[in-house]
Amino acid sequence: MAAVMRAAIYLRVSTKEQTTENQERELRAWADRLGLEKVRVYAETASGARGDRAALAQVLAGAHRREYDTLLIWALDRLSREGIGAMARYLEELKRVGVRVMSYREPWLDTAGPVGELLVAVFAWVASQERARHIERVLSGQARAREAGIHLGRPRRIVDLSAVSARREAGETWREIAVALKIPTRTLRRHAEAGQKYLSDPQVRDLREPA
């Protein structure tokens, strides 16, 4: 006798004014028609554009622990509205751990069906194209910024090492100096150590000494 496949149900609405009751009723009835054993219902109220959803994290964790075999969703946009790249990652991750994903509103979405592998591959390809275009836009923007003389990255910090040395000789602690100069203590000490190494270099010392 074949083992009964276990199903988890994922429900999501975006606002507190909405309810997951209709989704749950339909998906429970669908699971019964498919002969699936319902083992877990995950539900949450959160925007599908967010990737830090608690219930979604539990869905993925449960899949990795093989707590269920099939994930039933009301529609693809209930799983995610973060873009096709995120959607591809979720489907690939679930498929990789052996979990079948099925959508009630989109019968064509069945990752264990005949087009399941092709579907995930297409999603992944579109996501890779989106990433490539994003990288191109970033590199192009960086090039334009450099041409315009705009500094990229974190603001450069200028540390007056002579002032730091004078404060240290006066007995101030690194923390007191950092607060006074409005610089993180770790950054201050890193600059000071780098400056000390530079000044202790024999070639630098020879340059500072008169001929």
Distance, in Å, from the CA atom of 43 to the CA atom of 190, rounded to the nearest integer, reads 49
Determine phi and psi for 26, rounding to 5 degrees: -65, -40
End-to-end CA gap in the chain: 96
Indicate left, alpha or beta for 162 from its phi (over 0: left) and psi (-120 to 50: alpha).
alpha
Which residues lie across from 38 on neighbouring strands? 7
- Active site amino acids: 14
Residue 12 is given by DSSP the state E
